[in-house]
Structure 1
């Protein structure tokens, strides 16, 4: 029995229409299927609490506007999410950790009616393992300059679209080379993002007793064609309140190797430490990396 719950947004069903995930549910002519023409968001439910829902709904709406795609409003998505989680709890029994994906496609060609649904399913076992033990990463060239988004807005570089074939290919390339993930770089040598995550870099200073006296958290520039991270945004807000200095790039690969800690952060995998980049260790002080990771993870949990 599948543990995936599907709820379609349907005007005839105000709270959403539950469908069997084990049976065919999409037309082969749906443009999300045959063209990747659509948008999506993925969020996490922990202990029954939906994390960062307003931020995800706002980014979904922003991505849809960039694609000239009409999607339902926030309240319709929220009702469908409630229905999906209630059905998931009845089916699986718990809501301790659940992935919720919101998808909107341009619909069946010629109808001009979007296809929209909510899926709820368990996270991959690797998510928790990588979160706890860290990951090894490769730097891969994305093949364009960091100012391309401004020159070519039709490429939708700041939208979260269904066209993820290149991102998945990059991850397969890394796995074939015994790495867990990827950090993309631009042709002009700037750090961009991971295929499904945002890059975070930390610098810290300690006194003679090992106490941290200064902490700075940096992420790549948002105008470099990367997806604005909902998790990065939430963590930056919490870190600022906690006294961290914040920065928005530009970052180059040498900045990653010189950092005291590097993480990839996403809604499902959360804050994940980077152990090695291109085989080189990151962070000269493991105890400092551990302390910074624990502090940021705690801040993120409180605000998300």
Structure 2
């Protein structure tokens, strides 16, 4: 059973609604044109993790779309309402929380906003332990496209996710679990719903590396939280640029996301790469340390 909370002007903490009956108008521009933004986050023990980072990114994405959404305090109150409703049925089970804001039925507003909660899919928990086989897919843009064409919204989390879902379906048809986008000029970017992380050792120093943000990828909240605790723990941090060849010969490679957390990659285009359960456990603990605060 899921939980749904609508952000409406008459309900400061959100209004609980029935998720099993229609709630969205067919003329909503989020449906008709994909004109909206969203965030997905994890709740553990009844508490939303990395909430501030997700609300900041939601606001940043909305700014890129010139979309006027409710303030962060309104979203936070609605999330608390949703968590209470979710807990009535599921107790303190892990919850996947989705925040969605669309332009509404009129380009001039008001926006349509809601918070939706459901149990974490079993597949997400399984992939944390089993690992992933991934394919490299050409994204069709150069690594400087985000700077040259900001209207592409490459660094924003919009509801226009058809390309991302098509990439995942293509990977699944090829027998893979996930994909990593590569730019037309040969730079490794991100997964359709995740951030890439590499652990390697250089000159005796352990290093965590992720692609350059300015290459047109979404700033990863999970990656940011991990980096915040990894550096004090002795890790050196790096930010690309990365090539496909650099996915091999490392201590470990992961796709990081808010609900799945750290899912180790075990093969790229059919070629096996190193997987370290011990390193995955170590980095996951560092990540959870960051998200508990």
Q: Which residue of 2 aligns with 1:16?
A: 14
Shift of 1:205: 6.7
Q: Which residue of 1 aligns with 2:168?
A: 171
Q: Which residue of 1 aligns with 2:258?
A: 267
* Structure 1 unaligned blocks of 5 or more: 207-212
Q: Which residue of 1 aligns with 2:228?
A: 237
Would you identify which runs of 4 or more consecutive aligned residues in structure 1 move more than 3 Å?
none
Per-residue displacement from partner, 1:87-118 (whole Å, max 9, x unpaired)? 1111x231220001100000013552100000
Per-residue displacement from partner, 1:146-166 (whole Å, max 9, x unpaired)? 000000001101100000000
Q: Is 1:216 equivalent to 2:207 in the alignment?
A: yes
* Structure 2 unaligned blocks of 5 or more: none
Q: Which residue of 2 aligns with 1:202?
A: 199
When normalised by structure 2's length, the TM-score is 0.97
Per-residue displacement from partner, 1:181-237 (whole Å, max 9, x unpaired)? 00000000000000000000111379xxxxxx5311100000000000000000011
Q: Distance in 1 between matches of 2:252 and 2:108?
A: 50
Q: How does 1:24-63 map to 2 (within 5 A)?
A: 24-63=22-61
Q: Which residue of 2 aligns with 1:282?
A: 273
Deviation larger for 247-256 or 258-267: 258-267
Deviation larger for 58-67 or 109-118: 109-118
Q: Which residue of 2 aligns with 1:65?
A: 63
The SS at the match of 2:137 is strand
Q: Distance in 2 between matches of 1:254 and 1:180?
A: 20
When normalised by structure 1's length, the TM-score is 0.94
The SS at the match of 1:241 is coil
Per-residue displacement from partner, 1:16-47 (whole Å, max 9, x unpaired)? 11111110000000000111100000000012
Tell me the number of residue pairs that the alignment of Structure 1 and Structure 2 aligns.
291
The SS at the match of 2:231 is helix
The SS at the match of 2:109 is coil
